[in-house]
Amino acid sequence: MSAQSTTDPHPPQALDTATARALRAVPSRYLADSWRTAASGREFDVRNPATGAVIARVPDCAEADALTALAAADAAWPAWARTPSRARADILHRLHALMIEQREPLARLLVLEVGKTIAEARGEVDYAAEYVRWYAEEAVRTGGRSTLAPDGGSHIITVTEPVGPCLLITPWNVPLAMATRKFAPALAAGCTAILKPAELTPLATLALARLALEAGVPDGVLTVVTTADPGPVVQRLMNDDRLRKVSFTGSTQVGRILQAQTGPRVLRSSMELGGNSPFIVFDDADLDVAVREARTAKLRMGGQSCVAANRFLVQDAIADAFVEAFAEIMGGVSVGDPFDDAVDLGPLVDDRAVGKAARLTDDALERGASLVARSSAPDTAGSFFAPCILDLVPASAAINIEEVFGPVAAVGRFRDEEEVIARANATEHGLAAYVITRDIDRARRVGSRLQTGMVGINRGLVSHVAAPFGGIKQSGLGREGGPEGIAEYQQLKYFAAPGLYV
């Protein structure tokens, strides 16, 4: 294992012992059967978005390193696929227990690299661990079916098999949960996996890989490749016949590039891409429920989520009351040090994210939207952005078309169901939608016409380990979570056997 440098030239709040220890526990990279640095010896910086300071340096893997990881994944696959599912499940159960035991150091790493608050970070560790437990339980329940063909001439017997070595590419906003949502079902199914974390947030993933090793995941079954230049490294893996599957969570833009790369080898893929979720409030809604759930849908992770409410569409008769009540929340968000329990929101992930939120806000204001309330943000070196709420945002504003990924609530108003359904569906995305109404018939009627993979009814949160998370249209392919999530890592084989009357 190589030494991890933890240079922070100007720490804002000196790292407390627990955090410093968490950081020291991060290995540089787990590759094949040892902790190693990149063959080139190159490294890249990981920064704390609350301060801008460098908190760690990790190996900058090149194509050759990625191929080493793939060779390990390919070599480990046959034995792992033959390992009884009960034994695979036991290892995942141990990993779940270790993650819970190590909740605090893992959470602190998430705060340091993502900038999410410590409360949200603890929640992410629990959520991430729950995927490991869920798929430990699913591992032993996968099966096939056996039927007699209607003509009696043959028996049809189906079995599931692991697809093989998988490349799992994760985003920076929920690094641990997106990693376990992919590798737990992959390993449960008998696949081996190469994790490629986002360059902004590799630390918690590396710490997790170390726990996986401790839990008994064999050499080569799970490896981590960190790189500052994912394009060529990923493409090299995609071109290699040994790779059997790619699962990606990230922007639609990168998803399109990867989907194109699957073409030549007809590579299996799962894609969780961007969203543009409408949050629809009907005038029969319970206002308290509408505002409470709007807060969840907009402010969880500061809006840096693909299922965050992107557009608030509010029916005319309730719009003034909703805007007034929601403005009180948006204007009162306390922004600051994410380690401080009293703070609602830390920094955004980097200055680019701040620039985008500011650009989208300015564009809406220029197009005639009104600024109803704005909270404040620390005027320090970190990537802070003051949350705000805009009313009367025209449909043509960029904020209604692009993914905001920030704490800006854009409210537009509508007259009736037909209008709001048309506006909600007027996007290339189809991930999640939220419908707030007390009328159950309306919820079902509108929900069934919304072109999304997920609909929250009187709820601003749809993610759950037991539920199939995923989108339609350009929001993706496949589902993660629930019993559906493991099927993404299995292929079906059918045996034709002699029937009754042969």
Residues labelled as active-site residues: 272, 306
- In angstroms, give the least distance from the CB of 238 to ligand ADP: 8
**The token pair that represents 472 in the structure block:** 């339609």
Strands 43-47 and 54-59: antiparallel
Nearest to 380 by CA among 89, 48, 100, 31: 48
Give the count of beta carbons closer than 10 Å to the beta carbon of residue 422. Answer: 11
**Part in contact with ligand ADP (CB under 6 A); list of ranges 61-69, 141-149, 227-235, 437-445:** 227-235
Going 300 to 301 to 302 to 308, the CA torsion angle's sign is negative
- In angstroms, give the least distance from the CB of 327 to ligand ADP: 28
- Work out the angle at residue 396's Cα, subtended by the Cα atoms of residues 408 and 366, and round it to the nearest 5 degrees: 65
Query: Quick check: 250 binds ligand ADP (CB under 6 A)?
Result: yes
Query: Quick check: 262 binds ligand ADP (CB under 6 A)?
Result: no
Which of 169/477 has CB closer to ligand ADP? 169
- Residues with Cβ within 8 Å of 321's Cβ and at least 6 positions away in sequence, in order, are 287
Query: Quick check: 161 binds ligand ADP (CB under 6 A)?
Result: no
- Residues with Cβ within 8 Å of 283's Cβ and at least 6 positions away in sequence, in order, are 315, 316, 317, 318
Q: If you search the block for the tokens 């990881």, which residue do you land on?
A: 69
Q: Distance between CA 392 and CA 446 in Å, rounded?
A: 23
Residue 196 host element (H or E): strand 193-196
Contact with ligand ADP (CB under 6 A): which of 26, 191, 198, 369?
A: 198
**Part in contact with ligand ADP (CB under 6 A); list of ranges 9-17, 30-38, 226-234, 445-453:** 226-234
Contact with ligand ADP (CB under 6 A): which of 110, 139, 215, 254?
A: 254
**The token pair that represents 14 in the structure block:** 């000196």
Which of 170/270 has CB closer to ligand ADP? 170
- In angstroms, give the least distance from the CB of 356 to ligand ADP: 10
Contact with ligand ADP (CB under 6 A): which of 251, 296, 380, 458?
A: 251
Query: Quick check: 471 binds ligand ADP (CB under 6 A)?
Result: no
- In angstroms, give the least distance from the CB of 251 to ligand ADP: 3
Which residues in the 13-52 window bind ligand ADP by CB under 6 A?
none
Q: Distance between CA 489 and CA 133 in Å, rounded?
A: 17
Query: Quick check: 199 binds ligand ADP (CB under 6 A)?
Result: yes
- In angstroms, give the least distance from the CB of 228 to ligand ADP: 9
- In angstroms, give the least distance from the CB of 231 to ligand ADP: 4
Contact with ligand ADP (CB under 6 A): which of 257, 371, 422, 492?
A: 257
Per-residue contact flags (x/-) with ligand ADP for residues 163 to 182, judged by CB under 6 A: ------xxxx----------
Query: Quick check: 406 binds ligand ADP (CB under 6 A)?
Result: no
Q: Distance between CA 167 and CA 189 in Å, rounded?
A: 15
Per-residue contact flags (x/-) with ligand ADP for residues 101 to 130, judged by CB under 6 A: ------------------------------
Strands 245-249 and 166-169: parallel
What residue number has its CB nearest to ligand ADP?
250
What is the b/e burial string over 232-264, where b = at least 16 CB atoms within 10 angstroms of the residue's CB? ebbebbbebeebbbbbbbbebebbeebbebbee
**The token pair that represents 55 in the structure block:** 């908190």
Which of 258/357 has CB closer to ligand ADP? 258
**The token pair that represents 154 in the structure block:** 């043959």
Query: Quick check: 317 binds ligand ADP (CB under 6 A)?
Result: no
- In angstroms, give the least distance from the CB of 254 to ligand ADP: 4
Which of 37/227 has CB closer to ligand ADP? 227
DSSP, res 397: S
Q: Which amino acid is at 227?
A: T
Contact with ligand ADP (CB under 6 A): which of 164, 220, 230, 481?
A: 230
- Residues with Cβ within 8 Å of 355's Cβ and at least 6 positions away in sequence, in order, are none
| Total site size for ligand ADP, rule CB under 6 A | 15
Q: Could you tell me if 200 and 228 are in contact, meaning their C-beta atoms sit under 8 angstroms apart?
A: no
Query: Quick check: 394 binds ligand ADP (CB under 6 A)?
Result: no
Going 276 to 279 to 282 to 283, the CA torsion angle's sign is negative
Which positions lie near ligand ADP, rule CB under 6 A?
A: 169-172, 196, 198-199, 230-231, 234, 250-251, 254, 257-258
